[in-house]
């Protein structure tokens, strides 16, 4: 009986949080350096790798600036002078950044504006210098149990992940060295099978494979 009561309380808490959030959905992020790694590997990559990132949000339900964004998505592609990241103790100093915002092509003009505003708010300082806003076909699907995630923005941007495996540990001292670049929930690190951006607006195109560089998560605000 006591266990049943506790379960009901927990369910009520989850429901109240979901109802309080004005917008919620899925999140997928990938970087050009390992985020799940040992300190020695991370130290070797600092200021050399991790200067690019792709952050993508898919709205399940909710509004931003009083505009409904149900089922729509937005992504931010970032490049910087230095390594992007925060290990929870020492924040990196990325220097100047540039960003491109990719907006779901199914969005109306008001929805497009709201998605851009949401992305800028969520990405914080990483989206201060936006060079381009582009409408794209948008797909984002996460399977949190398996660690499989997929994001596609037409032919110009892609993330594909799988769950981390025992064989992905190299030094046996791995941990989540870097935090996600934005506030998310249900966060888990994942193995990046592919990360790519081949679009315009950043003077920087990148394609990476086989890195421990992604995060799956959910968001709510």
Per-residue b or e along 66-103, where b marks 16 or more CB atoms closer than 10 Å to that residue's CB: ebbbeebbbbbbbbbebbbbebeeeebebeebbbbbbb
Radius of gyration of the chain (CA): 18
What token pair was written down for 13? 């808490």
What token pair was written down for 92? 């990196």
Let me know if residue 7 belongs to a domain: no
Let me know if residue 188 belongs to a domain: yes
Let me know if residue 8 belongs to a domain: no
CB contact at 8 A, 106 and 117: no
pLDDT for the residue numbered 151: 98
Let me know if residue 71 belongs to a domain: yes
pLDDT averaged over 10-residue windows placed end to end, the chain, 221 residues: 42 43 95 81 65 97 97 97 75 84 98 98 94 97 98 97 86 79 96 97 95 96 95
What is the DSSP code string of 147-169?
Answer: TEEEEEETTTEEEEEE---GGG-
Let me know if residue 59 belongs to a domain: yes
Residues spanned by the domain of 168: 22-220
Let me know if residue 1 belongs to a domain: no
Let me know if residue 14 belongs to a domain: no
pLDDT for the residue numbered 5: 42
Whole-number Cα distances in Å, 176 to 86, 88, 213: 11, 10, 10
pLDDT for the residue numbered 94: 77
The DSSP 8-state label assigned to residue 182 in this structure reads S
Let me know if residue 6 belongs to a domain: no
CB contact at 8 A, 220 and 185: yes
Rounded to whole angstroms, the Cα distance separating 155 from 107 reads 18
The structural domain count of the chain equals 1
Residue 138 CB burial class (10 angstroms; 0-12, 13-18, ≥19): buried
């Amino acid at each position: 009986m006591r266990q049943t009561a506790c379960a009901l309380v927990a369910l009520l808490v989850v429901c109240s949080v979901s109802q309080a959030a004005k917008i919620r959905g899925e999140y997928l992020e990938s970087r050009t350096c390992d985020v799940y790694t040992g300190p020695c590997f991370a130290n070797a990559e600092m200021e050399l790798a991790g200067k690019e990132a792709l952050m993508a949000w898919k709205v399940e339900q909710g509004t931003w600036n009083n505009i409904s964004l149900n089922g729509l998505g937005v992504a931010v592609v970032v490049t910087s002078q230095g390594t992007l990241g925060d290990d929870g103790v020492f924040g990196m100093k990325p220097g100047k950044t540039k960003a491109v915002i990719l907006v779901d092509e199914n969005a109306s003009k008001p929805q497009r504006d709201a998605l851009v505003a949401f992305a800028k708010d969520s990405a914080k300082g990483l989206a201060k210098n936006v060079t381009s806003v582009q409408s794209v076909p948008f797909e984002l699907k996460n399977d949190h149990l398996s660690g499989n995630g997929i994001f596609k923005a037409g032919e110009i941007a892609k993330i594909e992940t799988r769950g981390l495996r025992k064989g992905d540990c190299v030094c046996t001292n791995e941990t989540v060295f870097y935090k996600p670049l934005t506030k998310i929930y249900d966060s888990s690190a994942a193995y990046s099978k592919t990360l790519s951006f081949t679009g315009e607006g950043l003077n920087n195109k990148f394609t990476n494979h086989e890195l421990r560089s992604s995060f799956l998560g959910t968001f709510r605000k």
